[in-house]
Structure formats: structure tokens, C-alpha cells
Structure 1
Amino acid sequence: MINLNRNEKYLVAVSGGPDSIFLLNSVKNYEVIVCHVNYRFRSDSNNDQRIVEEFCSANQIKCEILNVECEYSNLKQNFEEFARETRYNFFNKIGIKYGIKNLLVAHNFNDLVETYIMQKRRQNNVDFFGLRSITTYKSLTIIRPMLNFLKSSILESLNSFNIEYANDLTNLDSKYLRNEIRSQLNEKDFENYYFQINKENKQLEKLKNEVKFYTLNNLSADELILQKKLTSFSQEKIQRILFYFLKTIKKDYLLQKRKNSTIKEIAWRLKTSNKPFWKIKLDDFFLIKDFDRLFLAPSTAFDFKTIIIKSQQDLYLAEEFVNWLEIFTTIKNDRERYPYVITNNYEVYKQTTFVEFVKTNRYLIDNKIRYRNRIYKAVVYKENELKILNKMTR
């Protein structure tokens, strides 16, 4: 029995398969609009559409259809990802069209268990094990009212009332992980799975709270402070801290569609590497470990600049650097004895210049001068003396 608020309107995602037809039959007396997507991916997809349209026609239900035109051989993402993105964008569009914010989706108890097993197999850092009864997508509230319904009871009900539904033969193809898992499951075991899923979700909630606490208490502007105790954390906890940090600074998209191996590599470096500095490329950024700090820098930050200032008329060139005012003051205090070199190319100047009477490379190491300062702040020295004039700060 599915109970909904009769004062609300609902979109219903209907593929034509048994689950969605069962859902539609259960809510047909509510104020609903059906959304069906025909991907034209299978040779019998038009039959699915026919079943949906005939059910809607017989029950006087408005039906919105999306016929997808796509050359699947040219698809750059996997079909399941493409299909999900396509249908939910369509649902959202129809929701806006009719001013409806609620979307009913026919996931059942079997789907919940299958999803949990897939999550465990793939070792993903999920936000929740199984399926939530309510989630959101853009302007839609997604409601799953059938998570306590067994697949066997759904089929039994449809067959007893002689309600037509489509059979998707790809559900039998064992090349898909979900289908492989499905073929090995027995509904008699679901109660044990349900107990295990609830137990793990409680443990997960505790872990997420610990991750949030660590991240927010070690956030300094756009940097994450790496406490020594971080190395004692589990690999999973570090991965979650990393992701939560990027989410907090609104850069989590850099990891969202990457392979798990990237996130695992970064977490492993954070846990095991004693190097004061390393960087990993993430799209147009570098994630940088800088002594006890972690931060993001645009890749353009490593486009180092070196400028020769030959006279007072050239001083404006120093404005390309973030610490240009300090450079102006330093040159003025040096009585403007041109020419000067201004550069942030620390890989070069550390080998050729001095700070006071110490080789710059030695000075940088002994004083633990942060790489962030080396990258963003330029140094200035007389071309013929090679002694850095401005102060290098940690």
C-alpha cells in the first residue's frame, strides 16, 4: 500500500517495467503526470513506450515522452551514466513545466540490497549505504515509496491483476555488475541484509561527523591544516576528509568524476609521505601539500615569470606579482641601483642567489619557507650581486 499526500501533485518515472508499472497502478488515483524516456537503445524500446502510453490512456493520465536521439557508438561516457543524467534532466524540465516538485521513483527492496552490495564491491566512499527514501535533484524532491516492497510481491500483484508490463532482457545480461549480483540473491536473506545496512549506516554517520569535525576545525581560509594525527587515520577517513575539504571550498567537482585510484593515491600520500612538498594535477588546478598545509592552486600559478628592471620607468612591470608593493619599497630602500631581477621561479633562483650570506636553497630549507610563498611571492635582487633584498617569510 502506497500512501501519499492527496494535496500534492506528483511526477511518476515510468519505464514500462514491472516496478514502475506497479507504482503507477498504485498511485493512478492521485494527481500525477507520467514521464517516460525512450532511449531507442534496445530494439524493443518502442514496446515499452506503447505499454506506458496505453496504461495512461486507459486511466486518463497525462504522459510526457522523451525520445532520445543519440549515436551511442560515439558516446564518451558509459550508457548507464548517460541514461541517468538524461532522464533526470528530463524529469526536472517537466517538473518546471507543470510546477511540480515531487518525483516518484519505483526502486524497491531488492534494488536497495543490490545497491548496497555494489557499493561494497566497488569500495566507494558513499554518503549512504543502500538507497534513501527521499533525495533531491536540482528542483525535484525524489521520493522512493516502494523500498519495503519485494520484487516477488510486485510481480505477483501485477500477474494476479493481469496488468501488462515490459521485460527488459538486458536485466539478464551478466556483464552488468548489478545483474550478476541480482542473479545470486535470495529474498530470504534480505532481513539480514537490512540489519547490516542499518548497522553500517550508523557507523558511517559517526565517521562522517568525525570527518566534518576534523575538517572544519583545521580549516584556515582556503587551506587545510594537516595535523600529525592525520597519519594515524584510516585510508577511508583521510579520503573523506580530502573530499569534505574540497566540498567546503566549493571545489569538490574536481574529484567527483575521477577514478577512485586518484583519491586513494592522494590519501595514501597524505598518510605516508614525509616530503615537505608535492603536487597532483586536478584539471586546471594543482592540489599541493605544503609542509603542514594542503591547498589548491591554479595551474597558471606555475607559469613562472622573471623580469629585468633596468630603470625607474620599468618599475610598473613588477605589478604582475602579488607582492609588487613590497618589491617597489625594497628597490627604493636600495637607492634604486638598477638593474634588478624580479622572479618567482624559485627552482632557478634558489640555486643561484643568496639570502644574507647563505645559499638561498639552504635558507629555504632551514627556515621552512612555504612553497605557497615561493610560488606567489617574487624575490628581487641586483643582477650583478645575486643577493635577495626583500624578506622571505614562512
Structure 2
Amino acid sequence: MGKFKLNNSFLYLVAVSGGPDSIFMLNELVKMNIQNIVVCHVNYNFRKDSNIDQKIVSNFCEKHNLKLEILDVKQNYNHLKENFESWARTIRYDFFLEMSKKHNIKNVLVAHNKNDLIETFLLQKKRKSYVKFYGLNKTTIYKGLTIVRPMLDILKSDIYKSLIKDNVSYAFDSTNEDTNYKRNEIRAKLSEDSFLDIEKEIKKLNKELEKMNLEVDWYVNNNMSADELKINKNLVDKNLEFIQRSIYKWLELINKDSIVQNRSNKTIFEIAKNIKYSQKVFWEIKIGEFYIIKDYENLFLIEANMIKPKTFIINSKEDLYLSEEFINWLDLVNAIKKNEEKYPYVISNDFTNYKLTTYAFGKRANRYLIDKKIRYKNRMLKAVVFNVKSKKILNTIK
């Protein structure tokens, strides 16, 4: 088994849990005489014996005179509502980011091996996950921090052999035996003898994925206006996977991909289905505190509180300040003044209600909105003003 290769001129944070993989990696770094490292250990206090893991890491670092940073997590796990693995990953990587700033180190080594790569791929297939890459990539970026996986060509069995040969102690994580975790269930049934065929499948799928992603990038980059994505026949005619990837890419470009991270794929799948099959000019799908909205031929993202329906009664000049709730407040005020301030008035962006009871330019407001193809984004963000008695909309709707 050959050692993994690293650029000796770089500084590295080294993620070490105390388990066999990370201890093997740390031991190899010592054998390779790579000294520009800072070891980072997270003690989640999730297991009763987690302090043993920390002690193993501390002893190793003390023996080899290595810098060690420890995050001691205080968390009542009875109150943890989210998935532990996702939560723990965020805690861990945010700690690495903090240590990166403290020590001015831009790279962190993590001990994923070939078995992890295979398990990740099989888990992706089982969950039908949206992925940018099948398996594990040798490098990824987390909030500007470069995550390096130098051990993806090394088998787990070879790691154990090396640790035994070098007489190196490591911790045993009992949760790795719990088959309630999907990864552990896959691991229990996996044989390294099958890896060659699985690796060929991964390589084939990544080649196909690379081609699709190039097409997705071209479509999204050429069909964006400001922060909106244009929906046209070139997108609608594609398969659902292509459409889903286009949505993810669009959200990434407007720096809002975080709203779909750690969420079920069902939401993006629902959006993709609507794009492909729905004939409606308008629909909306809520994602957390945001809405993704189809508005004629455009897709846009907006915070839910920005489009909350609001209606105010303006009984006198003293109430005009309420118009400032809307981005077109000056138009509203000018329309009231032009109407010689014949109070009371109604100011509202609740178009689903006012369109049925008011009139604009001699038409029922609903008919006017349809005929003029007034964008739903404008209907939501801008208000209309009408006299309580006449029900005639006084400002221009556009």
C-alpha cells in the first residue's frame, strides 16, 4: 500500500475523531514527517465513552508533539430536533472554519477512504439524492475552506493492517454498528471484492453527469435576468433530472442554494414537475421562509414576509404613512392627492381579493390584470389604491 501524496509546502488542519481512519491518516503524516499541521478533534459527548476517543487523540498528539485543538460540544440530545449526522457535520465543519481563521490555514484533511467512497455512492443511489458528483470528490469547498480527502484510494482493510503493524491505538465507535443508520446498513452487507465493478459504475455515471452539468450550466447562465430564471421550451422539453439540476444551479448562482440543503429532494422534484407539466401561468411553492414562484415565463425566489397580503383603510391624511409598507408608496399617495383626497380609501396588495371587487380602466380588475399580463411579482410587491365607494383603482397597475 503506497502512502497518499500531499503538497508539503501547504499548511493543513487534520480532522481526527480518534477512529481508525483518522488515526491512520495522522500516523502516516507523522511517518511522512509532515509537520505543518494542526490536529482538530470534536468531542460531541454523544456516547458515554466519547472521552476515550479524545484521550486517544490527545495522547497521540502529545507523543508526537503535535498542535491539538478540541471542541467540547455541550448539547442536550433529547432536545435535538434535526438529523444528528447533518447537525454534527455542520458543527464539525464550522469548527474547522474557525480553526482555519485562527491558524491561517486554508486546507483541512479528512480521512475518508475507498470504502467511504463506495458506501457514499450506494447511499446516494438508495436515496436517489441530488449530487454534483457520485461518490466522494478528492477536494470540495466549504465556506471558502478547502476539504482534502487524500485517502480515497486506500481500503479500510489496509488501514487496519497498517495500524496493527505499527501498533497504533484507535477508538471504536459503537454507533458504527447500529444498522438503524442507512450507511451502517450498507456497510454491513458490503464486500471489498465488489469494489472494482462499483468503481466502474461510478466512473461511468460521473462522466454522464459531467456532460449534463455542462448543458445545465449553459442553459442557466444564458437564461438568467437579474436573479430570475427564464423558463422556455428548451428547459420544459428536458427530463426532470435536468430541470432539477437547473433549479439547483440557479439557486447556487443567486447564493440561495442553502435553502435547499439538508432538505428532502421532494420539494425540488415538485418544482421540476410543475415546470414541465403545469400549464398555469402562476404557482408558488414554499421552502422554509421563502417562496419559489412561477410568474408567466419567469421563476423567482422571494422571502415569504415580503409578499404577505396587507390591506389598510386610509380614513384621513394622517393614515397615509401606512402606504410606506409598499415599494410603490409614492404612486399611491400621488393617486390619492390627484383624486382630491376623497377619503376613505383602501390600499392593498391582496390581489386575490381586490381583483374580484374593483375596477381598472373600465374593466373588472381581474380582467385587466389578465389582459395586460401584469406580473404576479408586481401584484405581490406593489399595492393598489381605490376609493371605498366607487371601487375604482386610482393608480396605474404595471
- TM-score normalised over the length of structure 1: 0.89
Q: Residues 343 and 7 (structure 1 numbering): CA distance in 2 closer, same or farther, change over 3 Å?
A: closer
Matches within 5 A, 1:158-237: 158-237=163-242
Shift of 1:55: 2.5
The corresponding residue for 1:134 is: 139
Q: Which runs of 5+ in 2 are unaligned?
A: none
Please tell me the residue identity of whatever aligns with 1:25: N
Q: Determine the C-alpha separation between the residues in 2 that align with 1:318 and 1:140.
A: 45
Q: Residues 248 and 11 (structure 1 numbering): CA distance in 2 closer, same or farther, change over 3 Å?
A: closer
| Structure 1 contact 230–238 (Cα < 8 Å) conserved | yes
Deviations 1:46-100 (A, max 9, x none): 3323332333333333333333332222222222223222222333333333333
The corresponding residue for 2:23 is: 21
Q: Determine the C-alpha separation between the residues in 2 that align with 1:92 and 1:340.
A: 54
Q: Which runs of 5+ in 1 are unaligned?
A: none
The corresponding residue for 1:30 is: 34
- 1:98 partnered with 2:103: yes
Matched residue SS, 2:5: coil
Q: Determine the C-alpha separation between the residues in 2 that align with 1:8 and 1:19.
A: 22
- 1:261 partnered with 2:266: yes
| Structure 1 contact 309–342 (Cα < 8 Å) conserved | no
The higher radius of gyration belongs to 1
Deviations 1:3-58 (A, max 9, x none): 33333332222222221121111111211332222323223323323332333333
The corresponding residue for 1:108 is: 113
Q: Residues 101 and 211 (structure 1 numbering): CA distance in 2 closer, same or farther, change over 3 Å?
A: same
Matched residue SS, 2:218: helix
Q: Determine the C-alpha separation between the residues in 2 that align with 1:387 and 1:177.
A: 61
| Structure 1 contact 353–360 (Cα < 8 Å) conserved | yes
Q: Which moved more, 1:17-26 or 1:365-374?
A: 365-374
Matched residue SS, 2:263: coil
The corresponding residue for 1:9 is: 11
Please tell me the residue identity of whatever aligns with 2:96: F
Q: Determine the C-alpha separation between the residues in 1 that align with 2:281 and 2:91.
A: 45
The corresponding residue for 1:373 is: 378
Q: Which moved more, 1:189-198 or 1:112-121?
A: 189-198
Matches within 5 A, 1:351-362: 351-362=356-367
Counterpart of 1:304 (choices 303, 310, 313) is 310
Q: Residues 160 and 345 (structure 1 numbering): CA distance in 2 closer, same or farther, change over 3 Å?
A: closer
Q: Determine the C-alpha separation between the residues in 1 that align with 2:109 and 2:136.
A: 14
Q: Residues 102 and 206 (structure 1 numbering): CA distance in 2 closer, same or farther, change over 3 Å?
A: same
The corresponding residue for 1:119 is: 124
Q: Determine the C-alpha separation between the residues in 1 that align with 2:86 and 2:248.
A: 21
Counterpart of 1:71 (choices 67, 73, 76) is 76
- TM-score normalised over the length of structure 2: 0.88
Deviations 1:109-145 (A, max 9, x none): 1111111111111111111111111223345322211
Counterpart of 1:323 (choices 291, 304, 328) is 328
Q: Residues 368 and 9 (structure 1 numbering): CA distance in 2 closer, same or farther, change over 3 Å?
A: closer
Q: Residues 34 and 359 (structure 1 numbering): CA distance in 2 closer, same or farther, change over 3 Å?
A: closer
Q: Determine the C-alpha separation between the residues in 2 that align with 1:314 and 1:43.
A: 63
Question: Sequence identity of aligned pairs in percent?
Answer: 51
Q: Residues 127 and 333 (structure 1 numbering): CA distance in 2 closer, same or farther, change over 3 Å?
A: same
Please tell me the residue identity of whatever aligns with 1:245: W
Q: Determine the C-alpha separation between the residues in 2 that align with 1:49 and 1:320.
A: 54
Shift of 1:102: 2.5
Please tell me the residue identity of whatever aligns with 2:79: N
Counterpart of 2:287 (choices 265, 282, 287) is 282
Shift of 1:196: 1.6
| Structure 2 contact 230–299 (Cα < 8 Å) conserved | yes
Q: Residues 57 and 327 (structure 1 numbering): CA distance in 2 closer, same or farther, change over 3 Å?
A: closer
Deviations 1:288-333 (A, max 9, x none): 212222222333322322443657x776664544334444555566
Q: Residues 355 and 191 (structure 1 numbering): CA distance in 2 closer, same or farther, change over 3 Å?
A: same
| Structure 2 contact 314–320 (Cα < 8 Å) conserved | no
Shift of 1:108: 0.7
Deviations 1:138-173 (A, max 9, x none): 453222111111111111222223322222232222
Matched residue SS, 1:118: helix
- 1:270 partnered with 2:255: no
Q: Which moved more, 1:298-307 or 1:192-201?
A: 298-307
Q: Determine the C-alpha separation between the residues in 1 that align with 2:22 and 2:195.
A: 21
Q: Which moved more, 1:267-276 or 1:51-60?
A: 51-60
Q: Determine the C-alpha separation between the residues in 2 that align with 1:232 and 1:137.
A: 34
What is the total number of aligned residue pairs between the two structures? 392
